[in-house]
Structure 1
Amino acid sequence: MKKKLIALVLILAIVSGSLFAAGAKEAAPTGKTNLVWALWDTALVTYYEPLINAYQAKNPNVTIEMLDLGSADFQTMLSTQLTGGDNTIDIISVKDIPGYSTMIRAGQLLPLNDYVVQEGIDTSVYGGIIDQITVGGKFYALPFRSDFWVVYYNKDVFDAAGIAYPGNNMTLKEYDALARKVVSGSGANKIYGAHYHTWRSAVQLFGVLDGKNSIVGGEYAFLEPTYQLILDEMRDGVAMDYGTAKTTSTHYSGVFENGSVAMLNMGSWFLSTVIADIKSGKADIKNWGIVKYPHPDGVAEGTTLGTITSLAVNAKSRNQQASLDFIKFVTGAEGAEIIASTGTIPAIRTEAVLDAISSMAGFPQDDASREALKVTKTFLEMPLDERSADIEVVLNANHDNIMTRNTSIRDGLAKMSREVQAILNR
């Protein structure tokens, strides 16, 4: 209890300091509007300043002030300030879906529907994301960056086996067949055809790409074919055993970069890591590429999974119109090009954005890799639901039991269904 009290005091002290700092800087030069942007990691994120500088150059009567609330406790710090009716924060970076849901329920975010219609903003460019963050017919944020899942592959492994590279329109069954063809060696010289990290998302989310089921829906029998396919690969030595990967703390970056896997399904956030590690000499792999995510039969090429970072306006902001204009800039095509120029994947991927990403030093210089950046539809890894945090715990625990074969696939999914339904029925 004492530790919790001390922690609360520290948080309040930091918040008070932030409020004072924001208040102290709120006064802008005469005729100027000062906007306070709540975010995190100002020292690490490379696109903040270029975005601000570009916007201020076009809007000299507006200044943008960054309020860094830290990464680890961002939502806690932000909620503490907003709950008190803080009107000094104007623009809010939305870090995750649970935080977004919490702020909507608290009435802390400004609905954006009317503004989007008024400005003629085409939300289809976000690949279906807006529909997934709409609550009661309203949405309260626009995405400005988005990471999505692709397949990384080792060209040298395929060349050595005399097998054609993966394509951008693979079904999951075709992906499985290709992985089985390219597996080779044994022991220390083993090269696996595919690799699945120990996250549940690396397995479960293949099952939601057809749009018929949800990972928070409460019924999980639909995942049986996916679990069966991947566990069969592990049984047959096509992919590293889940138990081995977990007990040895095997990281996906290591097995891909040391050349011991032919294909890896992973998020686009891994691109910059591979490029940097090859440049520094840390990675053994040299000849690699990416293709679009494998999909179920009958699902459109380019359908994938992803995470988003969005921008919203504080419902209590005194500068709502100016804040909306800044959000329009950052989440639009011009902001996307600036974000892409820093090596980060933006939510909008125009031809100019694709050119910026694919022309980065170290990015694979083949047409298929550039094409892999084009996304048709993105499903959120964790859909919008106020109970998502509790559901996540159940999904993870049952995933672990199935993958370690402590339970059968069918029994594990039945248990998963019962436990999630209990949460949904509270």
Structure 2
Amino acid sequence: MKKVLTILLVLALLTGSVFANGTKEAAQEVGGQTTLKWALWDIASTTYYEPLITAYEAANPDVKIEMLDLGSADFMTMLQTQLSGGDSSIDIVTIKDIPGYNNLVKRNLLMDLNPMISREGVDLSLYGGTTDQISVDGKLYGIPFRSDFWIVYYNKELFDNAGVAYPTNDMTFAEFDALARKMTSGMGANKVYGAHYHTWRSAVQLFGILDGKNTIVDGTYDFLAPYYEMVLNQQRDGIVQDYATLKTSSTHYSGVFYNNSVAMMNMGSWFIATLIDQIAQGKTECSEWGLVKYPHAEGVAPGTTLGTITSIGVSNASKKKDAAFDFVKFVTGPEGAQIIAKTGTIPAIKDDSVIEIIASKPGFPTDQATRDALQVHKTYLEMPLHEKSAEIEVVLNQVHDEIMTNNISVDGGIKKMNEQIQKILGK
């Protein structure tokens, strides 16, 4: 009986100690280890989660990172539901998209990271301006750790056969248009198109925001006119494939590049790993390729491009905020970027060491121009942070389709965008 009482007394003292010390002790488990729960999606098919966790835990043996897979399809909805319910077990939050980020911030579910960023001396200039674009009233609630951006892929064999010099890392839109026209040749099954635009609205509309003077969320879209005119003229002249045909046939952009049908293609950096893999398996006619920076407007620095980001932040309900931010700092910092790059994924930080890792992967082109194409000057978000972004995108997609299929004129389409989106914005 004395032994039982002694044990109960010890347990009571231990329990009391935990409650007395509040959140600090609540963060500790047996043996003094801190467990952090990281909300994310698709553990089985994502290559960089485990390496990041392994490296961090090796450097911080008193910390254990536990993954919580909420699935990819409804990730942001599931995450918001759990956090809104006061779930304090989630410490680290992966942020999949800008509308979802906006919803989490509006509901005060994410911690303002600015005080810790300042305290820890985090260099936000490493993120190419994207952190400025996701700040809300001067406060940052997530830091990017992944960033895909738009570049131009080109088929070296087609350029060599035509005796035309490769595209460069400093092309204006006028130069890009001229080169696309120069590289167009043949007819029927043997036709080579000088360029290719996938059916996404971003492939055309977002040319217009690269000068930093315009945005697609303010309800005024007159600045899009010259870019629609350029692409429609190319389509009319047979320089690019017909939008309506691509749409009705559900043609994937990869197919036209694989079968040597296009000389240049505007596409995201996510296609790099896929292209390398398909060539290695002998599943494509294209074997010699390269990259150059996105075309730009006059007076805009080469390497100015468009992109999407995946960010990571700290739940406001977490009782382990300091420890959680330390992990966030690691994942989003230079060391995390190198780990991510080694898996073939493009990290948010693209310094020389990261570029070297990506460029050294088997199958990546060895020329310096392609390596240099991975260095970006500034990245504008495909969809900026805005509380009405989802509604705005519906209109932009619809009118883009009408313009590209010639069901409405460029001027008529822009007028329709202006009217409908200003109504959404309450202007």
TM range (shorter): over 0.9
- Please report how far the alpha carbon of residue 158 of structure 1 lies from its aligned counterpart in structure 2 after TM superposition: 0.5
Match of 1:7 in 2: none
Partner in structure 2 of residue 23 of structure 1? none
Residue identity opposite 2:108 in structure 1: G
* Alpha-carbon distance between aligned partners in 2 of 1:66 and 1:27, rounded to the nearest angstrom: 17
- The match for 1:94 is 95
CA distance in structure 1 between the aligned counterparts of 2:326 and 2:116, rounded to whole angstroms: 10
Q: Which residue of the partner structure matches residue 255 of structure 2?
A: 254
1:289-328 correspondence runs (5 A): 289-328=290-329
Instruction: Note the C-alpha offset of 1:139.
Output: 0.9
Residue aligning to 2:367? 366
Deviation at 1:278, TM superposition (A): 0.5
1:12 equivalent in structure 2: none
Residue aligning to 2:210: 209
**1:341-383 Cα deviation digits (max 9, x unpaired):** 0000000011111110000111111101100000110000000
Give unmatched runs, 5+ long, in structure 1: 1-25
- Structure 2: unaligned runs, 5 residues or longer: 1-26
SS at match of 2:43: coil
Q: Counterpart of 1:281 in 2: which secondary structure? A: coil
1:391-420 residue CA offsets vs partner (Å, 9 max, x unmatched): 000000000000000011001011011101
Matches of residues 25-424 of structure 1 in structure 2 within 5 Å?
Answer: 28-424=29-425
Structure 1 residue 28, shift from structure 2 partner: 3.7
- Partners of 1:184 and 1:115 lie apart in 2 by 57
1:9 is aligned to none
RMSD of aligned alpha carbons: 0.9
| Cα-to-partner distance string for 1:171-227 (whole Å, 9 max, x where unaligned) | 111100000001010000000000000000000000000011101110001000000
Secondary structure, counterpart of 1:93 in structure 2: strand
Residue of structure 2 equivalent to 1:17: none
Alignment TM-score, normalising by the size of structure 1: 0.93
Deviations 1:144-192 (A, max 9, x none): 0100000000001110111100000111111000000010100000000
- Match in the other structure for 1:8: none
Q: Distance in 2 between matches of 1:350 and 1:333?
A: 8
Distance 1:407 1:243 in 2: 13
**Amino acid of the structure 1 residue aligned with 2:324:** S
- How many Å apart are 1:30 and its aligned residue? 2.1
Q: Which amino acid aligns with 2:50?
A: E
The alpha carbon displacement at 1:283 in A equals 1.1
The CA distance in 1 between the partners of 2:143 and 2:29, in whole Å, is 27
Aligned-partner SS, 2:398: helix
SS, match of residue 226 in structure 2: helix
Rg comparison, structure with higher value: 2
* One-letter amino acid of the counterpart of residue 269, structure 1: W
Shift of 1:29: 3.3
- 1:264 counterpart SS class: strand
In structure 2, distance between residues paired with 1:272 and 1:29: 43
Partner SS, residue 307 of structure 1: strand
SS of residue matched to 2:419: helix
Match of 2:24 in 1: none
Task: Please give the alpha-carbon distance, in whole angstroms, between the structure 2 residues aligned to 1:352 and 1:231.
Answer: 40
Q: Secondary structure at the match of 1:304?
A: strand
The whole-number CA distance in structure 2 between the counterparts of 1:417 and 1:152 is: 33
Deviations 1:58-84 (A, max 9, x none): 000000000000000111111110111
The CA distance in 1 between the partners of 2:187 and 2:258, in whole Å, is 18
> For 1:110, what is the secondary structure of its paired residue?
coil
Q: CA deviation at 1:248?
A: 1.1
Equivalent residue number for residue 11 of structure 1:
none
| Number of residues of Structure 1 aligned to a counterpart in Structure 2 | 401
CA distance, structure 2, for counterparts of residue 374 and residue 270 of structure 1: 16
The one-letter amino acid of 1:61's match is: D
What is the SS of the residue equivalent to 2:280?
Answer: helix
Q: C-alpha distance in 2, partners of 1:282/1:59?
A: 43
Identity percentage of aligned residues: 62
Q: Which runs of 4+ in 1 moved over 4 A?
A: none
